[in-house]
Structure 1
Amino acid sequence: MSTRLALALRLIVPAVWIGLIIAIDFIEAPLKFQAPGITIPLGLGIGRLVFTAMNIVEAVLLVVLAIALWRSAAQRRERFLLAGLAAIMVLKLAVLRPLLAGHTDAVLAGTSDGGSSVHYFYIAADGVLTVLLVWFLIVQVRRIVPTQLDDVVLAATEHARVGGSR
């Protein structure tokens, strides 16, 4: 993988991931149950399929992002953010999804009437994931696009170097 491709992936992957979370978690999931004719069991079945697919895509995005960072000189802050993203994904996949699946099974079997606080933890985990992804994206953009302050410091350094060599 070229450095240029790794750089592009460090920008594109978090942006796509943020879009995925917004589209599924914050738009599709709440609206699904408002559609005419959607029953709780049907909505839960659709939700299970959608979130399974989403989690697979998220895992792939995390791996691609890790490879892109590995292929380029990652800063400590970037490695920290990647570790945070990985930790949230482990929490979602190893803890929250199995709890939600058990709850969904109980609702579908008729032994539970619905409503689970685990959903709020999942939403919170995706909220934290979104914040980390935005932070990661900002770090990447700042590495690529120098700020005006960077330009001023560079100009002053160059001026001092050129002026000092006379």
Structure 2
Amino acid sequence: MLRAAATLTFCFALTAAFAAHALEPAVAAKPADGAATPALSATARAVSAGIVAGIRQGAQQDRNAKPAQLQCVRAIADDAVAAPVQEVIDASLGADDRAALETFYASALGAKYQAAMLANADPDKTFTPEEWAQAKATMESPAYRKLRAATVSANPLAAQKIGGVLNPLLGNCFKD
């Protein structure tokens, strides 16, 4: 379990700069008790996919990772931490910031941006100058800076909520 914790720490830190960069469609699962599932925003799905992508990249770069471990990490769903990310967003950002981010992440440009970031695409080859200017404006906005600050592992709430879901997933992948 110590290895899983070390991997989590490395991967979660690695994803800090990438946390809000990936949008994959996600369908929220119904809780076991039948209660209504809170709606997951495009912003939460984007952050979750970014975190998972960072974990996959970190595991791939781990020279000690075994093929079965890498396969296990690749199998983690892009929306695996979307629900706890949504909780962190709701607790940490005001309504105006959430709305501004959601406007971008739910847009066609936001989806294009997420796909490009996930693919490490060259912005000059992917976007028109106008599109890139719009995307950059969002990434340089106060709302985006608040989102990044809220969803990194240095934030105790993010560490508790998001890490609380990631720890068991990574523990399953990296048990020796």
* Shared fold, TM over 0.5: no
Q: Which has the larger radius of gyration?
A: 1
Q: TM-score, normalised by structure 2?
A: 0.30
Normalized per residue, the structure richer in helix is 1
Scaled by the length of structure 1, what TM-score is found? 0.31
